[in-house]
Amino acid sequence: MKNRIRELRVERKLTQEELAEILGVSRQSINAIEKEKFDPSLTTAFKMSQLFKLPIEQLFLYQPE
Amino acid sequence: MKTMKLERKKRIIRLAVWTWTWVATLAMATFGPKFIWDDHIFLTTFAITVNLINGILMISANRDLFNHFDEFERKIHLEAMALTLGLSVVIGLTYSLLDTTNLISGDAEISFLVMFIGITYLISTIINLKRFQ
């Protein structure tokens, strides 16, 4: 799934480590999500949505395979 | 959120302590009867019981650590565990067959399977981590 996490994180001048700490996940998780190799859980997606103050559909773009 | 890292460290240390004591009690239960207490039945039973209880506590510590993993770490470890379980059953039974059909000299040792499980889990976890980087 495509996402804008890296772009939004950089905009807010956050490191992967800082974002991971805010969301309560590991830095590796953030790295894998940003590289679109791993899709986060609904809980993490909602936390991201609240943090970046954007609806989930503006953070993640679902593309059927 | 620094507490999360501290909690993780605490759980890792707890698991390490139970693992090392489990190995130590296993060594004691294995070699004690022959080298320390001369096959005393009570002491041997006691050593085996202590090792078993220690093993259960080690599993509990491992579960506590697993419950602290986030979704990504769980995926990595669950995939590694699935691969390890599958390979251990298949390779373990093949190894047993080689023994029962006398195609290998000597008996099939459970310790080889335990080593195989450990190495397979380690390698598959590393490969999985690399895959998602």
Structural domains in chain A, CATH included, are 2-53 (1.10.260.40)
Per-residue pLDDT at B54 exceeds 90: yes
pLDDT band at B108 (very low <50, low <70, confident <90, very high): confident
**Residue A7, SS3?**
helix
Hey, is the C-beta of A41 within 8 angstroms of any chain B C-beta?
yes
Asked if B75 and B131 count as a contact pair (C-beta separation under 8 A), the reply is no
Instruction: Kindly state the percentage of chain A with pLDDT values over 70.
Output: 98
Task: Write out chain A residues lying below 8 Å of B132, CB-based.
Answer: 28, 31-32, 35, 37-38
Euclidean distance between CA atoms B9 and A53, whole angstroms: 32
Q: Which residues of A touch B133 (CB under 8 A)?
A: 28, 31-32, 35
What element of type H or E holds A3? strand A2-3
Is B1 within 8 Å of chain A by CB?
Answer: yes
Chain B residues within 8 A of A29 when measuring between CB atoms:
70-73
pLDDT of residue A63: 80
Tell me, what's the pLDDT at B1?
57
B75 touches chain A (CB under 8 A): yes
pLDDT score for A18: 94
Half-sphere exposure (Cβ direction) of A42: Cα atoms closer than 13 Å = 0
| Whether B5 and B59 share a structural domain | yes
- The pLDDT value given to residue A64: 78
Mean pLDDT of chain A: 93
Instruction: Give the pLDDT mean for B27-40.
Output: 94
Same domain, B59 and B19: yes
CA distance B5 to chain A (A): 9
Q: Which residue of A has its CA nearest to B2?
A: A21
One domain for residues B51 and B107: no
Query: Helix (H, G, I), strand (E, B), or coil: what is residue B89?
Result: helix
Domain hosting residue B111, numbered range: 70-133
Residue B28 near residue B52, CB atoms below 8 Å: no
- Are residues B64 and B81 part of one domain? no
